[in-house]
Structure 1
Amino acid sequence: MRQAEISEIVERTAALVDEHYVFPEVAARLATLLTDHLAAGRYAAAADPRTLGELVTTDLQSLNGDLHLRLKYHDEPLADRDDHPDDDRMVRLAASTMGGVGRVLRLDGNVGVLEIRPYLFPPQLAGDQMSAALRLLSGTDALLLDLRENVGGSPDMVALVCGWLLAEPTLLHTMYDRAGEPVRQSWSAAWLPVPGYPADKPTYVLTSGRTFSGGEELAYNLQQLGRAVVVGERTGGGAHPRIGFRAHAHLEVTVPVARPVHPISGTNWEGTGVHPDVETPAAQALDVAHRAALSRLASPAELVG
């Protein structure tokens, strides 16, 4: 890469972070850090966009470890626009992954499994597929919600799945902007085109160290509300929603612009991840949760309203 091109990308990244990042004081420090490193020649040896993205991302995450704050490399060229320039890729990915419905199956004991991966796609892209999966599972006696390979997604799809599992519309979080002002509330869906999953049916959420962002929100909401038992590993710890800006044909600046606050915990999972109720290696989480579901279904005391 030419030095002029590197400078343009780094300077644009610094300016976008300074203008939009959810924590203004950290944003100013990061902008100074990037421009200082640029002047010192830290990025001069970057031979390609991928290497530059890795170097800048390391610096962006060096102050507070925000994993959503990145100069993200894309193999495919980005659309020539800001505000999620990889949207076209997400549309194609949703179409090629059945809207994120990785698998639906029934285990012994009439225990259902719903695996959602790689993303919780927005309902406008995957609502029909998700609704079909929920309808298939409505007759099971317990549910294992497998998010071990879920790396993020749409808060609106989180609200849809929560609406299926919760008895009534429930506040999931309030979003605050960089000025500390509340800008949006997220509630579980009030209506779905499929029968709801009764609240007395046991539900377990499977997690791994790869579970991230929107997948974490779904696990966190259900855990905080007492609707599910989380089984597996502590998740990645990325809570801040972000927007994307094109900085190069293959580089997107992703900048968190808000922070969610859960009504029960008064905080979120940023930096800490979702801690499982039953800690076990991710590879064993399905078996562990299945045994727990069978044990609970076999206990009359657990099934009484």
Structure 2
Amino acid sequence: MHQTVTTALDLLTGKYVFPDRAAAAADAVRERLAAGDYEGLDEAALGERLTGHLFDVCADRHLRVRLREAGAAGRTGQADAAAAWAEYLRLTGYRIARAERLDGNVGFLDLRGVSDPALGGRAIAAAMELVAHTDALIIDLRRNRGGAPDGVAFWCSYFFPDADTHLNDVYDRGTGRTRQYWTLGHLPGARYLDRPVYVLTSDFTFSAGEELAYNLQALGRATLIGQTTRGGAHPTDAFAITDTLEITIPTARSINPVTGTNWEGVGVKPDLEVPAEQAFTVAYRAALRHVLDTATAPLILDEATEALREHTD
């Protein structure tokens, strides 16, 4: 057990994006180790206790010690792990659970994760094509647990006119470099411009799902409705401690070019705070009111009128 904890601390101090915090956390854990706090624990219990002790110092929700999944890289190999992940994305629609046109010509996207566009780009483009001609759009991130920063940039690019919007920066400790993320100059399909976008959030929304919401909010491109998100802003890698235990360590940090900071530890705060289960209804009503104020086609006006009646208490 002593060696397991020591290995975890070596990885923490060598990889964590905040070296000072890593050193402080390591010192605190070493004191507990010397006091026997980790004796007699199986790996699952050890991981849970270490995670709590690291959080006490670092307050970082991405920093975790946990059992490795059956197909984790290192036991099956990087190539096998990448193939398994690609297959998971394929079988889950690249984390796009729903893409549809609602009555009143309101688009709706339910995103459970954020796929790398190298894998899910065609699915993202197809979803955006389905809602391209709607008069307002709702993006549901209430069950979104994260994904790829490149995927966030790909999604965001649909809501800005060109390649000139600076979305996010990510500083990487290992290289000492900061990568900038900008909107893309070319996209498959039409952009979604000059129409309102409503983003639904919950206290379950995490990581790249939070970045998508944060970017759109910071740039004034979307209205966020729901609850404050979970608060994990740091890109993370997993490192093996043993064959069956791993530590996930934030090796980089996000820096928003508008706010100069990120949502780590505080979450993304909605513009309109309501219980998560009510967020869709509130957003749909707002979208329908916009349609009734701006649409001219009788069919759309009739649909919007009826839908608003059905969703009004």
* Both proteins in one fold, TM over 0.5: yes
**Mapped partners of 2:246, 2:175: distance in 1:** 26
Q: CA deviation at 1:178?
A: 4.2
Q: Distance between the aligned counterparts of 1:53 and 1:186, measured in 2?
A: 34
Q: 1 CA distance for matches of 2:47 and 2:80?
A: 16
Show structure 1 runs of 4+ deviating over 4 A: 81-89, 178-182
Amino acid at match of 1:53: G
CA-CA distance at 1:74 after TM superposition: 3.5
Q: Is the 8 A contact 1:239 1:268 kept in 2?
A: yes
Q: Which residue of 2 aligns with 1:3?
A: none
Name the residue aligned to 1:40.
Answer: 35
Deviation string for 1:260-300 (max 9, x for gaps)?
11111111111111100011111111111000111122234
Per mean C-alpha deviation after superposition, the further-off stretch among 171-180 and 156-165 is 171-180
Q: Take 2:263 and 2:55, find their aligned partners in 1: how far apart are those partners?
A: 17
In the alignment, which residue of structure 1 is the partner of 2:153? Answer: 159
Q: 1:243 aligns with which of 203, 212, 237?
A: 237
Match of 2:86 among 91, 112, 119: 91
In structure 2, C-alpha distance between the alignment counterparts of 1:53 and 1:197, rounded to whole Å? 44
From 230, 254, 257, the counterpart of 1:260: 254
- Compared with structure 1, are the counterparts of its residues 180 and 231 closer, same or farther at alpha carbon in structure 2 (3 Å cutoff)? farther
- Return the letter of the residue paired with 2:293: S
Mean CA deviation greater in 148-157 or 31-40 = 31-40
Name the counterpart of 2:6: 11
How far did residue 258 of structure 1 move? 1.8
Aligned to 2:187: 192
After superposition, the CA RMSD in angstroms is 2.2
- SS class of match (1:105): strand
Indicate yes or no: 2:142 matched with 1:148.
Answer: yes
Q: Deviations over 1:233-276 (max 9, x none)?
A: 00001101112111223322111122211111111111111100
In 2, Cα distance between the equivalents of 1:222 and 1:154? Answer: 16
SS at match of 1:93: helix
Distance 2:157 2:280 in 1: 23
User: In structure 2, do the counterparts of structure 1 residues 249 and 181 end up closer, same or farther at CA, with 3 Å as the change threshold?
Assistant: closer
Asked if 2 retains the 8 angstrom alpha-carbon contact of 1:120 and 1:157, the reply is: yes
Which residue of structure 2 aligns with residue 282 of structure 1? 276
Moved more, 154-163 or 260-269: 260-269
What TM-score does the superposition give when structure 2 sets the normalisation length?
0.88
Find 2:208's aligned residue among 210, 214, 222.
214
Unaligned runs of 5+ in 1: 1-5
Matched, 1:293 2:298: no
Q: Does residue 25 of the first structure (1) align with residue 24 of the second (2)?
A: no
* CA separation of 1:154 and 1:213: change in aligned 2, threshold 3 A: same
Q: Which amino acid aligns with 2:97?
A: G
The alignment partner of 2:56 has SS state of coil
- Residue 126 of structure 1: SS of its match in structure 2? helix
Deviations 1:138-175 (A, max 9, x none): 11111100100001110000000001111122111122
Native 8 Å contact 1:208 1:282 kept in 2: yes
Structure 1 stretch displaced more, 32-41 or 267-276 = 32-41
Query: What do residues 5-44 of structure 1 show as CA deviations (whole Å, max 9, x unaligned)?
Result: x223211110011011111111111122222222222121
TM score, norm. by length of structure 1: 0.90
Measure the CA separation in 2 of the matches of 1:212 and 1:283. 17
Contact kept? 1:146, 1:206, Cα under 8 Å: yes
Given candidates 168, 171, 186, the residue that maps to 1:176 is: 171
Q: After superposition, what is the alpha-carbon deviation per residue over 1:211-246, rounded to whole angstroms, capped at 9, x for unaligned?
A: 000000000000000100000000001101112111
Partner SS for 2:167:
strand
* 1:110 alignment partner, one of 105, 127, 131: 105
Whether 1:270 aligns to 2:264 is: yes
CA distance in 2, matches of 1:52, 1:77: 21
Q: How many residues align?
A: 293
Distance 1:108 1:83 in 2: 45
Alignment partners' CA distance in 1, 2:44 and 2:206: 22
The DSSP-based 3-state class of the residue aligned with 1:191 is: coil
Structure 2 segments unaligned to the other structure (5+ residues): 296-313
TM-superposed deviation, 1:184? 0.8
Equivalent position SS for 2:40: coil
Structure with higher Rg: it is 2
Deviations 1:70-124 (A, max 9, x none): 113244242217989964553232122111111112212110111111x212112
